[in-house]
Amino acid sequence: MAKPRGGSILGTIRSIYNSLTKSEQKVADVILAENEKIIYSTITDFSEICGVSDATVLRFCRSVGFKGYQSFKLELAIEIANIKNEGEQEEHSEITGEDSLEEIARKTINSNLFAINETMSLLDFKALDKAVDVIVHSRKISLFGAGLSQITAQDAVFKFMRLGLDVSAYANNHIQLMQASLLSSSDVAIGISFSGSTQDTFEILNAAKNTGAKIISITHHAKSPITKISDIVLIHGSKEGPLEGGLLSSKVSQLVIVDILFNSIFKRMSETANQNKELALKALSEKLR
């Protein structure tokens, strides 16, 4: 079986981590921390390293998208070799009190670069093409998000509006809920959530789905509540743990998805988009002194 999402196995493991069972997470923890241990191990040896049964390791391999242990191990070995050859080995080291300013800067930048590269490896281009098509042909585009994801939603509004699209996003979740309930089958709702489990965002997207609107979700977790009710799912990378909400790496990768959508929509709308963009920029330029 081909690698999941046409790219990173390690990225896919991180994106579905929260949906794994506790015993499967033990397997994931070992692979993410010491992935080379699996390369030279039989399934029995590796299950002992992880402290789980052979059946759990096999179930984990299937959860990631492979039929069996051997095919998973082979593809992971190739990925690890490619990472080393390209000099892109991710840095798991956390910032400590002993770090110099230079080390803090290097670790911070590497974390953001890692998230961007992982976003590329996790992108489903068929889903991306569908998302662009839905957005271009929608009557109205509504974006929803809570906390820092709301900032990403506002960024998308500023970009899409310049293309002449009818797009909006509100910070207040009560207004978001009203906004979602007034959509129709001609509209699209875009939900942004790192975890994919934010209750307000889920409820708002569910309200939009009940109106017949198309649902697009932008999240790091491939198997989360909002992805289950979405028509299209766009997965982004991250260097953020489940309890580390707010890291810039997650924000950067969300913004990268928005930029990709913007550029793809611009290309699809071509001349009309260019004219609208010029009109918007001209209006703004008149505010400059």
pLDDT tens by residue, 185-207: 999 999 999 989 999 999 999 99
The C-alpha atoms of residue 162 and residue 267 are separated, in whole angstroms, by 14
pTM equals 0.79
Report the side by side order of strands in the sheet with 167-169.
Answer: 167-169, 141-145, 188-192, 214-219, 232-235
Alpha-carbon distance of 189 to 143, in angstroms, equals 6
CB 26 within 8 A of CB 47: no
Cα–Cα distance measured from residue 145 to residue 194, given in angstroms and rounded to the nearest whole number:
10
Segment among 30-39, 132-141, 183-192 with least mean pLDDT? 30-39
Which of the four pLDDT bands, split at 50, 70 and 90, describes residue 2?
very low
Residue 275 pLDDT level (bands cut at 50, 70, 90): confident
Give the strand pairing for 232-235 and 167-169: unpaired
* Mean pLDDT score of the chain: 86
- Pick from 234, 184, 7: which is nearest to 226 by CA? 234
**Distance between CA atoms of 204 and 181, rounded to whole angstroms?**
8
> Rounded CA gap, 161 and 178, in Å?
21
Domains, the chain, ordered by start? 4-87 (1.10.10.10), 124-285 (3.40.50.10490)
For residue 47, what pLDDT band results from cuts at 50, 70 and 90? very high
pLDDT bracket for residue 240 (50, 70, 90) = low
Q: Judge contact between 79 and 10, C-beta under 8 A.
A: yes
pLDDT, position 138: 96
**Which residue would you say has higher pLDDT here, 94 or 4?**
94
